[in-house]
């Protein structure tokens, strides 16, 4: 989508080197600036657009995007900037009733036209779609939701009887990192059906309230604010006299700044208040330079004016090479475990590879800092307000009673925002030095380069069993971290390969840290062993963990385990069914996954997922949303996502949502969730659902093809390599 008179190529050609600063563009199709004003050059242009029914006067440079004008000049913050390149859909608005991407359209092209944002749909109360999104949990963090609302509402407005597939297609190009897609689709279907509103839970009491909570669960307290655009995130903070900071992050694994950056030229850019080179030897994703200006565009222009020249250093990016060459720190039990496996009735071995993936929250890291005398207020997108509070208090040497940290809403975190952003202290310092509030939000490229991700791992594993399936031992050799068996209890040992790879960037905790890779290996080798023993994979697991039978009885009948093939087929398109188990933070469960694999192309399509999840559930509605969202995120990790590095420079080759692929609305399979209650200690539901997915998916592909795809992600290339094609 784009505005009339704009081509995407022409728009992107105007992007500057630093953070996508737009240097200028030619208007095509004979478009004219209003009232004869100049359309090119540095001069501002005065014009009027109608936003949500109200005329709004603007006086901005021609390069100003519609999204920038709405958010930074008109304080209409419902539309969000998730990528800045038209690849996430968070900025979707209506232009004369048609959905467009505000980040790809210039504000000047909306002159004299009608712009409708998510706020405009709820001026007389929530729209039925907005209400149903809350009821059906069609959101989590909510950062992406305003864009989805605009696209789905346009679809239903133009076609009140839209089918689920038509609704999905209307959302093509949107991304929800929390993966609340199923609830979105259910909300749209409810609108099509004319489903009556749910009762107001604040008016229920006694047994009626108890029954409602037990059967359905409670709706989100913040849901209405998120679906109407009222929710304010760190990215939405606007303070009097606020300056905007932008950072240039190193694209190379190891680099050196050559020559002298032209700081003087950067400081001459109109509106610039501060320019600083932060380091001359950056790692990938580390800030190299910062510019502070009255407008984000001016800050971007100042960074471009620096003329930074980075020379990449030597790198080692291949984890398999590091695995082969690294020194081995041997576990003291390794020799005895290997001997036990060698003497076992059956054994299986393989080498598995785990891909680098990124947290990729839709709201990037960012903060705003405001001083008042000797007191400080910091607005930050964070999972850990108290942790940020303590860190800032220590960094500034202020008493904790002098520091306030606020995070009203957070646009996703997944572990990357568990502590303060590593650039927050400098933003705080700049606000003090410049005597004005300073806000700094990471760019999408900066977020993918250095905003957090999972490191690559290579694991060789051997496991042995008696004829009846009793496990006798497991040995692993892993790089770069030790990896334990975690789930299936048996004598085990793990040798650690010591070495390094470059270009992975910062690696904070990522949803169920450590467990998804470990369980991918554990579940895959169990199916390899079952094949060697000639056993049903479920029987092998039950033999060693009898308590799993309860889960398997529920999942097997729903996926149709009896349809699972026992011999490979030579058909070009084949189906397979696999299982995987896992636990984390007091919750546990298993996944049954059915896939369709095209032998000719290597393409894997997930047909259905059955999730059997066990825990003590306080709010079934929220639990269901977390389980489905976690499952989809883990499918995305396993099928689509990978940080691709240039082997010569360690540069990330795909630091954008065009080429770092995240599961979208059209990638979501049928997901059936079975919630099994369990008395006992409480735990978190956000972690465990991601753990079993990769193993179950790998086993489904193995069942379909008869060969093991041991390298994640399971892209066509990696699947074809496994087949030998």
Which sign, positive or negative, has the C-alpha torsion 264, 270, 273, 277? negative
Q: Is residue 167 domain-shared with residue 290, that is, in the same domain?
A: no
Asked if residue 575 lies in contact with residue 704, where contact means CB atoms within 8 angstroms, the answer is yes
Residue 353 counted as domain residue? no
Structural domain ending residue among the three candidates 206, 228, 250 = 228
pLDDT score, position 42: 60
The reported pLDDT for the residue numbered 31 is 32
Question: What would the two tokens of residue 315 be?
Answer: 């790198």
Render 630-678 in DSSP notation, one character per residue. HHHHHHHHHHT----B-TTT--BS--STTTS----GGG--EEEEEEEE-
Mean pLDDT by 10 residues, the chain (725 residues): 36 33 29 38 86 97 95 97 97 98 98 98 94 97 98 98 98 97 98 94 90 88 97 97 97 96 96 96 96 95 96 95 94 95 97 97 98 97 96 94 97 94 94 98 96 95 97 95 80 92 93 95 97 98 96 98 90 97 92 98 98 88 96 98 97 97 97 86 84 98 97 98 87
For residues 179 and 127, state if they share a domain: yes
Separation of alpha carbons 124 and 113, rounded Å: 22
**What is residue 187's predicted lDDT score, i.e. its pLDDT?**
98
Q: Would you state the structure tokens that stand for residue 483, as one six-digit string?
A: 């990896």
Q: Are residues 301 and 400 in the same domain?
A: yes
Do 700 and 637 share a domain, yes or no? yes
Domain boundary among 194, 228, 262: 228
In a domain, 343, yes or no: no
* Cβ burial 70-104 (10 Å sphere, 16+ → b, else e): bbbbbebbbbbbbbbbbbbbbbbbbbeeebbbbbb
Say what the pLDDT of residue 725 is: 58
180: in domain:
yes
- Do 393 and 254 fall into the same domain? yes
The residue behind tokens 């600063």 is: 21
291 exposed, middle or buried (CB, 10 Å; 0-12, 13-18, 19+)? buried
Is the domain of 273 the same as that of 374?
yes
Do residues 142 and 245 both lie within one domain?
no
What pLDDT sits at residue 618?
Answer: 84
Identify whether the C-beta of residue 359 lies closer than 8 Å to the C-beta of residue 510. yes
Is residue 172 located within the same domain as residue 215?
yes
pLDDT at 104: 98
Of 427, 410, 430, 508, the C-alpha closest to 141 is 410
Tokens of 463: 């496991």
Distances (CA, A) of 170 to 7, 54, 156, 185, 661: 21, 27, 10, 11, 19
Are 87 and 151 within one domain?
no
Q: Looking at the domain assignment, is residue 486 inside a domain?
A: no
Strand (E) positions, 39-172?
45-51, 54-60, 92-95, 98-101, 114-116
- The answer to whether residue 334 sits within a structural domain is no
Domain of 272, CATH number, reads 3.30.365.10
Q: At what angle do helices 620-639 and 515-533 cross, to 10 degrees?
A: 70
Burial (CB < 10 A; 0-12, 13-18, 19+), residue 362, is buried
Is the Cβ–Cβ distance between 240 and 250 less than 8 Å? Answer: no
Using CA atoms, how far apart are residues 652 and 549, in angstroms rounded to an integer? 44
Q: Residue 189 maps to which CATH number?
A: 1.10.150.120
**Same domain, yes or no: 524 and 585:** yes
Give me the pLDDT at residue 487, please: 82
CATH of the domain at 56: 3.10.20.30
In a domain, 456, yes or no: no
Domain boundaries, position 437 = 236-312+365-441
Q: Of 12, 11, 48, 53, whose CA–CA distance to 33 is shortest? A: 48
**Strands 54-60, 357-358: pairing kind:** unpaired
Q: Is residue 479 domain-resident?
A: no
Answer yes or no: is 477 within a domain. Answer: no
Domains in the chain: how many in total? 4
Q: What is the pLDDT of residue 617?
A: 82
Whether residue 201 sits in one domain with residue 148: yes
Residue where a domain stops, chosen among 116, 137, 153: 116
Q: Which residues contact 381 (CB under 8 A, 6 or more apart)?
A: 233, 234, 235, 361, 363, 364, 365, 366, 367, 407, 410, 411, 413, 417, 421
**Same domain assignment for residues 701 and 623:** yes
Give the number of other CB atoms < 10 A from CB of residue 445. 23
């Amino acid at each position: 989508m784009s505005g009339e008179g704009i081509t995407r190529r022409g728009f992107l050609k105007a992007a500057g080197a630093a953070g996508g600063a737009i240097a200028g563009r030619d208007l095509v199709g004979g478009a004219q600036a209003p009232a004869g004003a100049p359309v090119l050059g540095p001069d501002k242009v005065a014009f009027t657009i109608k936003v949500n029914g109200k005329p709004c006067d603007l006086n901005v440079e021609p390069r100003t995007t519609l999204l920038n004008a709405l958010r930074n000049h008109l304080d209409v913050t419902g539309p969000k900037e998730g990528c800045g390149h038209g690849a996430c859909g968070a900025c979707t608005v209506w232009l004369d009733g048609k959905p467009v991407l505000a980040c790809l359209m210039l504000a000047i092209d909306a002159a004299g036209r009608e712009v409708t944002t998510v706020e405009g749909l709820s001026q007389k109360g929530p729209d039925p779609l907005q209400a149903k999104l809350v009821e059906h949990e069609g959101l989590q963090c909510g950062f992406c939701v305003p864009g989805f609302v605009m696209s789905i509402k346009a679809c239903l407005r133009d076609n009140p009887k839209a089918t689920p597939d038509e609704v999905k297609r209307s959302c093509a190009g949107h991304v929800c990192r929390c993966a609340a897609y199923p609830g979105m689709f259910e909300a749209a279907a409810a609108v099509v059906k004319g489903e009556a509103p749910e009762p107001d839970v604040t008016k229920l009491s006694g047994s009626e309230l108890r029954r409602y909570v037990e059967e359905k669960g409670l709706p989100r307290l913040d849901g209405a604010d998120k679906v109407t655009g009222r929710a304010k995130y760190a990215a939405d903070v606007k303070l009097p006299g606020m300056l905007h900071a932008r950072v240039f992050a190193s694209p190379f694994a190891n680099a050196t700044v050559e020559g002298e950056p032209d700081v003087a030229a950067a400081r001459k850019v109109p509106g610039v208040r501060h320019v600083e080179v932060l380091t001359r030897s950056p790692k990938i994703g580390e800030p190299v330079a910062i510019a502070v200006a009255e407008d984000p565009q001016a800050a971007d222009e100042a960074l471009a004016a620096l003329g930074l020249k980075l020379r990449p250093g030597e790198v080692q990016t291949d984890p398999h090479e590091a695995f082969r060459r690294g020194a081995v720190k041997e576990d003291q039990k390794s020799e005895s475990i290997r001997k036990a496996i060698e003497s076992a009735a059956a054994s299986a071995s393989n080498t598995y590879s785990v891909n680098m993936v990124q947290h990729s929250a839709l709201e990037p890291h960012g903060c705003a800092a405001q001083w008042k005398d000797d007191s400080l207020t910091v607005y930050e997108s964070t999972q850990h307000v108290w942790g940020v509070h303590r860190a800032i208090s220590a960094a500034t040497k202020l008493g904790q009673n002098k520091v306030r940290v606020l995070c009203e809403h957070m646009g996703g975190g997944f572990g990357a925002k568990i502590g303060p952003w590593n650039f927050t202290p400098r933003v705080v310092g700049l606000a003090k030095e410049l005597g004005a509030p300073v806000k700094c939000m990471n760019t999408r490229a900066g977020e993918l380069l250095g905003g957090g991700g999972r490191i690559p791992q290579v694991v060789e594993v051997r496991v042995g069993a008696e004829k009846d399936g009793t496990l006798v031992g497991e040995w692993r050799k892993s790089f770069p971290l030790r990896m334990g068996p975690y789930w299936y209890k048996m004598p085990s040992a793990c040798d650690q390969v010591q070495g390094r790879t470059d270009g992975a960037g910062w690696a904070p905790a990522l949803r169920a840290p450590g467990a998804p890779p470990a369980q991918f290996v554990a579940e895959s080798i169990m199916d390899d062993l079952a094949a060697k023993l000639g056993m049903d994979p479920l029987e092998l697991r039950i033999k060693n963990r009898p308590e799993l039978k309860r889960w398997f009885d529920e999942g097997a009948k729903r996926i149709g385990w009896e349809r699972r093939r026992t011999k490979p087929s030579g058909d070009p398109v084949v189906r397979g069914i696999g299982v995987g188990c896992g636990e984390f933070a007091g919750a546990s469960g298993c996944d049954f996954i059915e896939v369709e694999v095209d032998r000719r192309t290597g393409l894997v399509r997930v047909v259905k997922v059955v999730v059997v999840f066990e825990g003590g559930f306080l709010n079934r509605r929220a639990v269901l949303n977390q389980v489905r969202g976690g499952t989809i995120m883990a499918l995305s990790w396993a099928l689509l996502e990978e940080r691709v590095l240039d082997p010569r420079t360690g540069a990330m080759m795909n630091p954008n949502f065009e080429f770092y692929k995240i599961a979208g609305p059209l990638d979501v399979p049928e997901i059936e969730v079975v919630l099994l209650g369990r008395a006992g200690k409480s735990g978190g539901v956000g972690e465990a659902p991601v753990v079993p997915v990769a193993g179950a998916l790998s086993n489904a592909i193995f069942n379909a093809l008869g060969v093991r795809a041991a390298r994640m992600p399971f892209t066509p290339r990696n699947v074809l390599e496994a087949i030998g094609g």
